[in-house]
Chain A
Amino acid sequence: MEAPLGGGPKPGPLGPDSLLWCETFLVMTKITLAGQLVQYLFTGVTVGSIYAMVAVGFNIIYNVTDIINFAQGEFVMLGGLIMVFFTVTAKLPLPLAFVLTVAAVTGVGALMERFTIHPLKNASVLTMIIVTIAVSILFKGIAMFIWGKDPYIFPPFSGSKPLFIYGAAIQTQTLWVLFMTAVMVVLMTIFFKKTRYGKAMLACADNPEAARLVGIRVNTMILISFALSAAIGAVAGAVMTPISLMEYDRGALLALKGFGAAVLGGLGSFYGAVVAGVLLGIIESMCAGLVSSGYKDAVALILLLLVLYVRPSGLFGNVEASKIKEF
């Protein structure tokens, strides 16, 4: 008798970076403890950078709208799979494929805002949660419709020959991940702190009515926030896929862990998100390597719960400010 709603059997609980861990394990057997630790550290920082980018994506939308977008992980998934399409299927050169991927997912983010968030102005928090969940299911379904259930990969940006540091093998792609994360965070910070549009977006989050009164087009700002957030998700997906592959159902767990990073760093703070994301990645990687690889996904989630229970304002967030916010 088949269970009607459980879905088919799945190998393990949606591991987002299983290949990375396997590889770490293979290399690990040959090297010293110090080398192992360096290896775990690098793996952790790499995975953590991805969480950081997801967290920054959450923060951008949250900063402007006070909405947590449950479809954030789906942007990463789409970024990875569309990148596979442009590089492997369409055989475009890498830089062009990268730009097209980011553009495509940005468009998806903008469409999502126009067709689902925009018409539901003044809806309750519960409704907003359910709408973004519905969109995430829809994206997942569309991805499965196009790409099926198999994981996909495309070659790393600059060859697959690893670097050796302190006896640990480091893929060059991890350096790309770190580089892109740094670029994204710096760009976002400059955008929000220095440019007129960025400042206008922050004003919307603070007080939409007042922002409207001084002539800021709040609707446009919300649209831009979704587009930007989708763009950064696409970048994360595009750089992580050569390391950890990508399939249609990766989004949920990535979103959960990215949200964990966002909360740990204090919701809304970019630097907090990066520090927390990397921290989360390192803790997870160390636990997987030294304690139990099966529970590595649980580690990040237990941390998320602890932070939510004990200090919902996060490590770097403002306790006073978080009290008046409607979570």
Chain B
Amino acid sequence: MPAKPTKLTQLAKLCVFSNVDMKSSNRKALFGLTLFLILFPLVAMNVSAIGHYVDIMIFVGIYCLINMGLSLLMGYAGQISLGHAAFFGLGAYTSGILCTKFSMSPWLAMIAGVGLTALVAYIVGVPSLKLKGHYLAMATLGFGVIVQIFFNEEVSLTGGPSGFSDIPGLSILGFSLDNDLSYYILVWSLVLLTLIFSLNVIHSRIGRALRSLHDSQVAADAMGVETSRYKVMIFVLSAVYASIAGSLYTHYVGFLSPSSFDLFLSIKLVMMVVVGGMHNIWGALLGTWLLTFLGNEWLHVFHDFDILVYGAILLAVVMFLPDGLIHLVPRMSRVWKRG
């Protein structure tokens, strides 16, 4: 690097993800993200116009949790899932039902949700991941719809289409997380931990095996990579992420209904990952952040027609920017450095 780096270029570089020095750039990006997350509520809570952004950021965090798993599955292992709303819902409903009907401790309920979701993901994953491409997409899509029908029909357990409410909030060591800021800290701490864990997975033996899967399963098989085992493993891991996200969602919103876990959510999750850039976990975070803010805040002018905008955005990104928006970041930072 010829010129002495200034603070600004360093900041710009925080977002850079180059293939040459992956580990150190990840560390910088992590540092940048943490800094942003600390500064964000300080700014947002003091500016009344964006005061509610903390609330939106909690949802961004919850969806980031799911989408990091989806990014591992899609971008790194090359497998698609159009049924992740089901795992999100399983976590959410397990937490909600155990806490309200059996007055279990929320944290135990969350662990129970993770256990149940992992089991379901394993049972569905083993036969599903033997399928490829279109068949896998349809199988996961079908699974997602079946789970949603279950939520709708098991009225005595789930409250049926109208759902149920009065789900208690979370607390840690007697300290109740009942305001937005404390919940923001909880959710994003979990996101950061999961992110670090996921980055480690990517740079481990498993991550390399996954990438070999993405490129060519036959070649990976021939090299002795146990492809089916790794695929199921990452599928279950991504379901576990979604389940934790579901539990966090339940305790934050305090209300559950099947329509929050429908087919369109599954598609939206995939959309977030693809728009951000599915070959890169940072892309999943970027896409989630962008589309959640769009859906929750910036598309309110479109009322119900946001679906039209979603379709257009997804189509435009797949057609013209197949690597996703994150792909623009190194390009922009190069321009920035030159100028």
Interface residues, chain A, CB within 8 Å of chain B? 1, 3-14, 67-68, 70, 116, 119-120, 123, 125-127, 129-131, 133-142, 144-145, 149, 252-253, 256, 259-260, 263, 292, 294-295, 297-298, 301-302, 304-305, 308-309, 312, 326-327
Task: Judge whether B296 is part of the interface by a CB distance below 8 angstroms.
Answer: yes
CA distance A13 to B296 in the complex (A): 23
The residue of chain A having its C-beta at the shortest distance from the C-beta of B142 within the complex is A301
| Complex: A4 Cα to B52 Cα, angstroms | 13
Q: Are A134 and B131 in contact (CB under 8 A)?
A: no
Interface residues of B (CB under 8 A from A): 55-56, 59, 63, 74, 78, 80, 82, 127-128, 130-139, 141-143, 145-146, 148-150, 152-153, 161-162, 249, 252-255, 257-265, 267-268, 270-271, 274, 292, 295-296, 304-305, 307-312, 314-315, 318-319, 322
A59 to B264, CA, bound (A): 25
CB–CB B138/A304 < 8 A? yes
Residues from chain A with a CB closer than 8 A to the CB of B161 are 9-12
- B138 lies within 8 A of A298 (CB): no
Bound Cα distance from A127 to B153, whole angstroms: 34
Q: A5-B260, A301-B143 are in contact. List 14 more A-B contacts (CB 8 A).
A: A4-B59, A4-B296, A6-B259, A6-B261, A9-B161, A13-B149, A120-B318, A127-B322, A137-B307, A138-B311, A256-B138, A308-B128, A327-B134, A327-B135
Select one of B135, B145, B249, B309 contacting A308, CB under 8 A: B135
User: A140's contact among B133, B149, B295, B311, by CB below 8 Å, is which?
Assistant: B311
Rounded to whole angstroms, the CA-CA distance of A295 and B260 in the bound complex is: 19
Contacts of A312 in B (CB 8 A): 131, 135
Determine the chain A residues whose CB is within 8 A of the CB of B249 once the complex forms: 3
> Which residues in B have their C-beta under 8 angstroms from that of A149?
304
B134 touches A120 (CB 8 A): no
Query: Are the C-beta atoms of A7 and B134 separated by less than 8 Å?
Result: no
Question: Complex: how many Å from CA A3 to CA B258?
Answer: 12
How far, in Å, is B247 (CB) from chain A's closest CB? Answer: 15
Distance of A326 Cα from B136 Cα, bound (Å)? 11
Residue of B nearest to A262 (CB): B138
A327/B311 in contact, CB under 8 A: no
B interface: dominant SS: helix
Q: What residues on A are CB-neighbors of B78 within 8 Å?
A: 126
Please tell me if the beta carbons of B74 and A126 are within 8 angstroms of each other in the complex.
yes
CA of A301 to CA of B138 in the docked complex: distance in angstroms? 10
- A residues in contact with B141, CB < 8 Å: 256
Could you give 16 example pairs across A and B, Cβ below 8 Å? A6-B261, A7-B260, A9-B162, A9-B259, A12-B161, A14-B263, A127-B318, A130-B318, A133-B270, A137-B267, A149-B304, A256-B142, A301-B146, A308-B127, A327-B131, A327-B135
- Which residues on B sit within 8 Å (CB–CB) of A259? 138
Shortest distance in angstroms between A123's beta carbon and chain B's nearest beta carbon? 8
Contact residues in B for A326 (Cβ distance below 8 Å): 132-133
| Residue among A11, A13, A127, A263 with max Cβ neighbours from chain B (10 Å) | A13
Chain A residues, CB < 8 A from B254: 1
Which of B263, B271, B308, B311 sits near A135, CB closer than 8 Å?
A: B311
B264 and A7 within 8 A (CB): yes
Instruction: Decide if A68 touches B265 in the complex (CB within 8 Å).
Output: no
Cα distance, A309 to B264, chains bound together (Å): 24
Cα of A200 to Cα of B263 in the assembled complex, Å = 37
Task: For B89, give the chain A residue with the smallest CB separation.
Answer: A6
Report the 9 A-B pairs with minimum CB-CB distance, sorted nearest first: A141-B308, A6-B260, A138-B311, A137-B311, A125-B133, A68-B134, A309-B127, A134-B315, A134-B314
Q: Which residues of B contact A125 (CB under 8 A)?
A: 132-134
The complex places the Cα of A295 from the Cα of B145 at a distance, in Å, of 11
In the complex, the answer to whether A305 meets B261 with C-beta atoms within 8 Å is no
- Which residues of chain A are within 8 angstroms of B136 by Cβ–Cβ distance? 327
**Contact A7 B315, CB 8 Å, known A138-B308, A141-B308, A305-B143:** no
Taking the closest CB of chain B, its distance from the CB of A308, in whole angstroms, is 5
Q: Knowing A6-B262, A256-B145, A297-B149 are in contact, say whether A129-B80 is a contact too (CB < 8 A).
A: yes
Q: Please determine whether B145 and A138 come into contact, CB atoms closer than 8 angstroms.
A: no
Q: Are B295 and A4 in contact (CB under 8 A)?
A: yes
Rounded to whole angstroms, the CA-CA distance of A256 and B135 in the bound complex is 11
Closest to A308 in B: B139
* Residues A142 and B127 in contact in the complex (CB < 8 Å), given A12-B161, A326-B132: no
A35 to B145, alpha carbons, bound, how many Å?
32
In angstroms, Cα B289 to Cα A4, docked, is: 12
Q: Which residues of B contact A294 (CB under 8 A)?
A: 149, 152-153
